[in-house]
């Protein structure tokens, strides 16, 4: 007889995520990923000045607002007919802020959203560092959240465990530094004010360059000396997670960080689609559709540039507020794995060389990247490369060049902005009528990864990654949680396990 496990909610960011699985013989046979919060921010934009979109859409997510700011301004640049005229200086500053947000998110995800699955914060001794001494004192008070209760599958040696716990605390400072780096050009963070249609709001002087470079040096030292080594330790003690959570194996990236090369803007992380047979193809945005067969909406399969789907609360087969984006009707995973792997398969440097070296260092092949640890590896590798590259981009700024171009809002227009948030492919679509927004649509990374089944009955990426997983302890389904977190939802929730045979509800609080 099958048992049902319900984890609800899983995520705080971009709505609440519920994961429901059916287990038979300790193997997941069916999985449902459900977005449990209707948002409708696109509706708020209707009738507004198009320039409002950049600020309002940043409120979609306080963790990665930079991605929405970038996608929205690209969308408006396109609608205003100026996307080919944006000054190079403006694109460099946009990229500096955007890349810093990616770096921040990588550190946040590994240390503060995922690592507590693998480390035991109660297994630390005094006398190692001031920070760990303070942690020991805190744990004695029995006010242990967010650290416990927690999943119980700890394999690290005490020495390595203590090192990573110490770095968990050090990472808080690194996140602050990354946020401050964005604020140098954006005025504040989160929800910066530096990116606008036509360019950016401020120029760059020597003081800002020196300040930004100093922060990047601090982040680079942490990533190279601590983050990378901690990931290697996790991989050493949890090698089975190279085999767990493979997913759909179709990868999609819209590309990110346009850099001028030979007079033409080329995205530093290229756009592309990589299929299960490791074949590369270019992205055609016309092939993006959204299905709502298993979502609480009604309507046909639509391209996001078309009309809205209407809400339908009483739809019987539906189980999510999240729609089902597909590319050429295929289920696609998005995120750092997709970004890094697309660059690797396309042969674009430094991604091909860097990923090849990383696979050699970790002793894996390409197939192992489709896994929990593979996602962690690509996220860390991306941070490692970006923190180095942004320092080169900064030095390309022309102090005598422009940072902004004038424009006029058209009476009628359409625009599209495709980029990458830290979690993956992000698209914004706009229609303008009578100088106001008449249609606005956003497809965020979580919409791709946490999508429910589509009209053809194909499960979404997270669902596919969970199905087939062996769960050792049904009352402590750590395997499921580690898979979900590897896709980088922001998690901190209560987990409820329900044994349907006894109709007995078991509640376990888990830091996720």
Predicted local distance difference test score (pLDDT) of residue 122 = 86
* Percentage, residues of the chain above pLDDT 70: 92
Residues linked to residue 470 through DSSP beta bridges, in sequence order: 27
Q: What is the mean pLDDT of residues 136-161?
A: 81
Q: What is the mean pLDDT of residues 176-198?
A: 96
Mean pLDDT, the chain, integer: 91
Predicted local distance difference test score (pLDDT) of residue 148 = 61
What is residue 259's three-state secondary structure? strand
Structure tokens at 399: 């102090």
Predicted local distance difference test score (pLDDT) of residue 42 = 85
**Distance from C-alpha of 35 to C-alpha of 71, rounded to nearest angstrom:** 23
Q: What is the mean pLDDT of residues 164-170?
A: 95
Residue 389 burial (C-beta neighbours within 10 Å; 0-12, 13-18, 19+): middle
C-alpha 334: how far from chain center: 8
Predicted local distance difference test score (pLDDT) of residue 149 = 57
Domains of the chain: which residue ranges? 3-510
Q: Which pLDDT band, with edges at 50, 70 and 90, does 475 fall under?
A: confident
- Cis peptide bond upstream of 190, omega within 30: yes
DSSP state of 472: S
**Distance from C-alpha of 355 to C-alpha of 475, rounded to nearest angstrom:** 37
Does residue 219 surpass a pLDDT of 90?
yes
Residue 5 burial (C-beta neighbours within 10 Å; 0-12, 13-18, 19+): buried
Predicted local distance difference test score (pLDDT) of residue 378 = 99
C-alpha 435: how far from chain center: 33
Q: Note the pLDDT tens digit of each residue in 5-48.
A: 998 776 434 447 789 999 999 999 999 999 887 767 888 999 99
Q: Are 201 and 184 in contact (CB under 8 A)?
A: no
Predicted local distance difference test score (pLDDT) of residue 144 = 66
CATH code, residues 3-510:
1.10.645.10
Q: Are 292 and 310 in contact (CB under 8 A)?
A: no
Q: Which pLDDT band, with edges at 50, 70 and 90, does 407 fall under?
A: very high
DSSP run (H or E) holding 433:
strand 424-433
Q: Note the pLDDT tens digit of each residue in 46-70.
A: 999 999 999 999 988 888 889 999 9
Does residue 135 surpass a pLDDT of 90?
no
Predicted local distance difference test score (pLDDT) of residue 126 = 86
């Amino acid at each position: 007889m099958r048992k049902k496990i319900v984890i609800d909610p899983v995520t705080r960011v971009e709505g609440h995520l519920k994961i429901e699985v059916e287990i038979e013989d300790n193997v997941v046979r069916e999985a449902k990923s459900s977005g449990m919060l209707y948002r409708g921010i696109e509706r708020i934009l209707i009738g507004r000045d198009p320039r409002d979109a950049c600020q309002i859409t940043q409120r979609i997510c306080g963790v990665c607002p930079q991605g929405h700011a970038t996608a929205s301004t690209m969308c408006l640049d396109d609608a205003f007919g100026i996307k080919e005229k944006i000054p190079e200086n403006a694109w460099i500053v946009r990229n500096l802020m955007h890349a810093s947000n990616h770096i921040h998110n990588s550190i946040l995800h590994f240390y503060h959203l995922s690592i507590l699955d693998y480390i035991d914060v109660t297994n630390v001794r005094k006398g190692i560092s001031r920070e760990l001494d303070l942690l020991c004192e805190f744990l004695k008070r029995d006010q242990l959240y967010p650290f416990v209760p927690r999943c119980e599958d700890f394999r690290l040696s005490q020495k390595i465990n203590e090192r990573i716990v110490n770095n968990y605390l050090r990472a808080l400072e690194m996140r602050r530094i990354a946020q401050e780096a964005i604020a140098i050009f954006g005025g504040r963070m989160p929800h910066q004010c530096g990116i606008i249609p036509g360019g950016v709001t401020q120029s760059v002087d020597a003081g800002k360059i020196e300040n930004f470079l100093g922060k990047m040096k601090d982040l680079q030292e942490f990533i190279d000396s601590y983050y990378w080594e901690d990931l290697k330790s996790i991989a050493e003690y949890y090698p089975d997670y190279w085999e767990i959570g493979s997913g759909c194996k179709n990868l999609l990236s819209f590309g990110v960080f346009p850099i001028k090369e030979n007079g033409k803007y080329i995205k530093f992380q290229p756009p592309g689609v990589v299929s299960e047979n490791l074949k590369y193809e270019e992205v055609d945005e016309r092939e993006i559709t959204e299905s709502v067969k298993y979502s609480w909406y009604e309507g046909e399969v639509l391209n996001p540039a078309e009309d809205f789907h209407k809400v339908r609360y009483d739809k019987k087969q539906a189980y999510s507020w999240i729609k089902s984006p597909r590319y050429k009707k295929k289920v696609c995973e998005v995120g750092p794995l997709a970004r890094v792997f697309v660059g690797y398969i396309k042969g674009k440097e430094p991604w091909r060389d860097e990923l090849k070296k990383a696979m050699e260092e970790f002793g894996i092949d390409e197939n192992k990247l489709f896994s929990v640890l593979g996602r962690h590896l690509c996220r860390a590798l991306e941070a490692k490369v970006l923190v180095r590259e942004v320092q080169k981009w900064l030095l390309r700024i022309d102090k005598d060049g422009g940072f902004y171009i004038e424009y006029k809002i058209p009476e009628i227009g359409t625009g599209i902005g495709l980029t990458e948030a830290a979690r993956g492919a992000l698209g914004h679509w706009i229609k303008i009528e009578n100088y106001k927004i008449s249609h606005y649509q956003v497809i965020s990374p979580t919409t791709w990864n946490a999508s429910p089944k589509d009209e053809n009955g194909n499960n979404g990426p997270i669902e596919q990654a969970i199905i087939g997983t062996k769960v050792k302890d049904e009352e402590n389904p750590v395997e499921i949680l580690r898979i979900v977190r590897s896709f980088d939802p922001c998690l901190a929730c209560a987990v409820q396990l329900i044994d349907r045979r006894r109709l007995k509800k078991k509640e376990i609080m888990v830091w996720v």
